[in-house]
A and B are shown apart, each in its own frame.
Chain A
Amino acid sequence: MMKRLRSWEGFLLLVLMVIVAVSASTSPQFLTVGNQVNLFQLSIEKVIVALMMTFIIINAEIDLSVGSMMGLSACAFGWMVQQGVDAGLAIAICLAIGVVGGAVNGWFVTALGLPSLVVTLATLIGFRGLARVLVEDRGINAFPAWFNALGQQGLIGPLPFALVSFAVLFVLLYIVLEHSGFGRKTYVIGSNREVAEFAGIDTARHKMILFIGSGAISAFAGLLYAARVGAVRGDVAFGFELDIITMVLLGGVSIFGGSGNFLGVGLSILVILSLRNGMGLANITGNTQTSVIGALLILSV
């Protein structure tokens, strides 16, 4: 137990308790259910994508294109709805776009052996470009009422759909990563790809699955964003990739792959969200919040 507490996760827990204590004592609203739901709801899309990013980074790869894929999916949805496509069909097509986009990343990484940093840097620019081609400089907002309601109203009590899907995905992906063969392979490939090859693991197929998963979950998160905000523009989710990667790395996941766990990432998400929320309630600007989180990130290594 003591050993566990002295680990990085223990430190995160300590930081989290301090933040909660300080925020709760300075602002009475902090611990209300409304504020806690709000705290999650405002960054829920990033948090969902961070779950899959954890797999990617443990696998010693990186996916910089997630923010642009979120934007592309949201803009594609908006464009299709505007063209009169049925919203349900449009959602399916958007998820398919995520799968295809992820497969493109995966193909360049596995079949051509290009570094994922370069491939996803290119698709970061490329996917964003496609999003802008679709909506140009317009804003699109005439979504069906049920779609907006899904993003803005509570599904189970005060918990909106996005929060519920996060909870489900968190548990599901936790089991996959830490209690399944697929998860073990993710660690093995991340810590030493050659050894994994010799052990008979199809590393290319594994990486392909992860990139497709990352694309699909980003597309899903993009749709959640469109539903919550109720409108899309070409710059939806711009720059989100850096926040998402920060969440994962602050959770103790090594950028070189092979180590990290869901507990750490979960705590790091809570730390970042409470820190932003608490500082926001104390009237500290967004930029200062970002630099505090940046400093924490450097400390985490």
Chain B
Amino acid sequence: MQGLLHRVSPQALRLLVLVGVIALLVIFFSSQIENYLNGRLFNRISSSVAVMALVATGQTLVILTRNIDLSVGAVIGFSAFATGSLIAGLPDLHPVLLVLYAALVGGAFGVVNGLLVAYARVPSIIVTLATMAIYRSFLVEYSGAKSIATEQLPQWLTDFPNMQLFSIGDFQFRAGFCAALALVVFVHLALSRFRPARQLFAVGSNPEAAHMAGINAQRVVFTAFVLSGVMAGLAGFMFLARFGNITVVAGLGFELKSVASAVVGGVNIFGGSGTVIGAFLGTILVDLIETSLVRWQMVSEFWREAVLGALILVSVATDTIFNRRLASLRAARAHRVALEKKEASA
């Protein structure tokens, strides 16, 4: 067991634990709820994860740099509304252009956040706390007390999230979920293989060392916020496609849920470590619990938030304790190896 602990990296172990917890939960709820594990459960979770995973990915990029983006919920709402009114006015617009528009709207908000945090040096929690309110009021002004209804949208858009790409048995893999998954995998590969993306970790784990190593920390933080905005913009597109009806409260509360998903997925809130795959699994775990509790007869569905709060605490606490243990275990081993070497040479 100890040998295993030394060989597997903490990050990989974390992912394994998450997968294990998800599997255990599925087994547990299957024994509790009749007809639980079927295609409908998978569809329900996968279509909601498709929206949330994008936000959580963007949030992870920002958290990696020791910052936080609380404005994502408002950005999702604005992007969903703006994209919806664009396509309602121009029904023949090419889908790719519409997606680009959503990303652009989100990116523009991200640029404002990034400029204020990276270049004006205002703490991100203050900036995004304020822009959360400001962007939301833009949405209220822009919407003029109207809302977007499903009937105004073209058929292809509302069909998109439910379009089945392929299926394994009962489990349909729908386009929205696959697109989100592809994006997560792409960002993960970029973060682990692509040199500029590694700078996010450098800036987050030690800003001074990163500066000494010649990394332009301001640009890195700025980029993280722009990307988070773009991701939130894309999530707004998915939100529009999934729900169709968009009011001024669209995306409310997504900021805290995206932080929760990332943290449950093992992203360190102090920056410098974490993976987007982890955040993705965190999103699934959070959603699995919410969806299952609604259907579980034993407890009232109103327990789901209380359970979610406890889950975040437990997962962060075990993570911290476990990592400390692991660090001291490794230190002890290194010490022992050094001693043995000394004895051998003497």
List residues of chain A with CB under 8 Å of any chain B CB. 62, 108, 112-115, 117-119, 121-130, 132-133, 136-137, 234, 242, 245-246, 249, 255-256, 285, 287-288, 290-291, 293-295, 297-298, 300-301
Nearest-neighbour CB distance to chain A for B297, whole angstroms, equals 15
B270 CB contacts on chain A under 8 angstroms: 115
User: Is B263 a contact partner of A118 (Cβ separation < 8 A)?
Assistant: yes
Instruction: Give 11 A-B contacts (CB < 8 Å), ordered by A residue.
Output: A119-B313, A121-B260, A123-B313, A129-B309, A255-B123, A287-B137, A288-B137, A298-B116, A298-B122, A300-B126, A301-B122
User: Is A117 a contact partner of B269 (Cβ separation < 8 A)?
Assistant: yes
Q: A133-B303, A298-B127 are in contact. Are A123 and B309 (CB under 8 A)?
A: yes
List residues of chain B with CB under 8 Å of any chain A CB. 68, 116, 121-123, 125-127, 129-134, 136-138, 140-141, 256, 259-260, 263, 269-270, 300, 302-310, 312-313, 316-317, 320-321
Nearest-neighbour CB distance to chain B for A131, whole angstroms, equals 9
Not counting A125-B306, A287-B136, a sample of 13 additional A-B residue pairs whose C-beta atoms are within 8 angstroms of each other reads A113-B320, A119-B313, A125-B308, A125-B312, A126-B305, A126-B308, A129-B302, A136-B302, A255-B126, A291-B136, A291-B138, A294-B132, A301-B126
Q: Once the chains are docked, how many angstroms separate the CA of A295 from the CA of B129? A: 10
A62 CB contacts on chain B under 8 angstroms: 125
A115 contacts which of B269, B303, B307, B312 (Cβ < 8 Å)? B269
User: Is A122 a contact partner of B269 (Cβ separation < 8 A)?
Assistant: no
Which residue of chain B lies nearest to A285 when distances are taken between CB atoms in the complex?
B140
B310 CB contacts on chain A under 8 angstroms: 122, 126
User: Is B130 a contact partner of A297 (Cβ separation < 8 A)?
Assistant: yes
Q: A121-B260, A255-B125 are in contact. Are A114 and B141 (CB under 8 A)?
A: no
Q: A112-B320, A118-B316, A124-B256 are in contact. Are A129 and B306 (CB under 8 A)?
A: yes
Nearest-neighbour CB distance to chain A for B318, whole angstroms, equals 10
Secondary structure call for the B interface: helix
User: Is A129 a contact partner of B129 (Cβ separation < 8 A)?
Assistant: no
Q: Once the chains are docked, how many angstroms separate the CA of A124 from the CA of B312? A: 11
Which residue of chain A lies nearest to B264 when distances are taken between CB atoms in the complex?
A122
User: Is B302 a contact partner of A294 (Cβ separation < 8 A)?
Assistant: no
A290 contacts which of B133, B312, B317, B320 (Cβ < 8 Å)? B133
Nearest-neighbour CB distance to chain B for A291, whole angstroms, equals 4
User: Is B141 a contact partner of A287 (Cβ separation < 8 A)?
Assistant: yes
Q: Once the chains are docked, how many angstroms separate the CA of A126 from the CA of B260? A: 12
A137 CB contacts on chain B under 8 angstroms: 302
B306 CB contacts on chain A under 8 angstroms: 125-126, 129-130, 132-133
Q: Which 10 A-B pairs have the closest CB atoms?
A: A126-B309, A129-B305, A129-B306, A294-B130, A287-B137, A122-B312, A125-B309, A291-B137, A291-B134, A294-B133
Q: Once the chains are docked, how many angstroms separate the CA of A59 from the CA of B312? A: 24
Q: Once the chains are docked, how many angstroms separate the CA of A246 from the CA of B313? A: 25
Which residue of chain A lies nearest to B68 when distances are taken between CB atoms in the complex?
A117
User: Is A114 a contact partner of B140 (Cβ separation < 8 A)?
Assistant: no
Nearest-neighbour CB distance to chain B for A116, whole angstroms, equals 10
User: Is B302 a contact partner of A301 (Cβ separation < 8 A)?
Assistant: no
Q: Once the chains are docked, how many angstroms separate the CA of A246 from the CA of B133? A: 11
Q: Once the chains are docked, how many angstroms separate the CA of A126 from the CA of B310? A: 6
